[in-house]
């Protein structure tokens, strides 16, 4: 019963991103949620579908993270977004287990079984990244924290920032992304 209720929700998220209907074969949404330790949280959503590709950067208030402080819509070059989404063909969608995923603790459970616990925290100085790639009805999630150079997640963020740095127009967005980018070096 839970699967029946959850599946229509995921289908709706994939097909109606930003209120635009797209066919399953063409709809792709790549969403990031950034939770840095010392600056505002933000969301970044890339959308490719039947219309021209675009992204939306949403920066939330620090004191009230449910309130939007700034929002910018970005018109994107089709080839840059295609390359970014194509890079996920070999990406390992993991919420746990990457070398830059945090909080691995092992202990013996009842009956001698080994139990692995993954604890998600922000740490003292870093950034938690949650993401999802939606293609039609298929949603694949990933998450990581404070990257190490050379990892797949580091390479992914390098591509994301390259697109942002060439597409942002508003000074408030540019300043925020420069601050956020410091967490990834």
- Of 8-12, 18-22, 72-76, 119-123, give the range with the top mean pLDDT: 72-76
CB 44 within 8 A of CB 71: no
Distance from C-alpha of 28 to C-alpha of 84, rounded to nearest angstrom: 11
Distance from C-alpha of 126 to C-alpha of 136, rounded to nearest angstrom: 32
The CB density around residue 65, as the number of other CB atoms within 10 Å, is 13
Short-list 20, 43, 68, 41, CA closest to 131: 43
Quickly state the pLDDT bin for 11 (edges 50, 70, 90): very low
pLDDT at 55 over 70: yes
Residue 73: the pLDDT is 96
Backbone torsions φ then ψ of 37, nearest 5 degrees: -70, -40
Q: How many Cα atoms sit within 13 Å of 12 on the Cβ side?
A: 5
pLDDT at 165 over 60: yes
Distance from C-alpha of 12 to C-alpha of 17, rounded to nearest angstrom: 8
Quick one: tokens of 105?
Answer: 């603790």
- pTM, rounded to two decimals: 0.72
Helix (H) or strand (E) holding 72: strand 68-75
Average pLDDT over residues 140-147: 85
Quick one: tokens of 35?
Answer: 């939770």
Residue 80: the pLDDT is 86
Q: Is 113 helix (H, G, I), strand (E, B) or coil?
A: coil
Write b or e for each residue in 67-102: b if 16 or more Cβ atoms lie within 10 A of its Cβ, otherwise e. Answer: eebbebebebeeebbeebbeebeeeeeeebebebbb
Mean pLDDT of the chain: 77
Residue 126: the pLDDT is 81
């Amino acid at each position: 019963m839970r699967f029946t209720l959850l599946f229509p929700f995921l289908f709706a998220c994939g097909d109606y991103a930003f209120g635009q209907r797209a066919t399953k074969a063409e709809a792709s949404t790549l969403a990031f949620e950034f939770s840095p330790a010392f600056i505002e949280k933000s969301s970044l959503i890339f959308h490719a579908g039947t219309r021209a590709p675009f992204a939306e950067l949403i920066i939330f208030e620090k004191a009230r993270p449910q309130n939007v402080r700034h929002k910018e819509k970005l018109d994107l070059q089709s080839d840059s977004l295609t390359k970014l989404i194509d890079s996920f063909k070999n990406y390992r969608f993991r919420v746990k287990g990457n070398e830059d995923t945090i909080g691995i603790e092992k202990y013996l459970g009842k009956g001698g079984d080994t139990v692995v616990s993954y604890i998600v925290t922000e740490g003292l100085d870093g950034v938690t990244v949650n993401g999802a790639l939606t293609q039609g009805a298929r949603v694949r999630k990933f998450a990581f924290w404070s990257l190490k150079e050379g990892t797949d997640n580091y390479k992914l963020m390098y591509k994301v920032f390259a697109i942002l740095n060439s597409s942002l127009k508003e000074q408030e967005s540019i300043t925020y992304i420069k601050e956020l980018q410091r967490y990834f070096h």
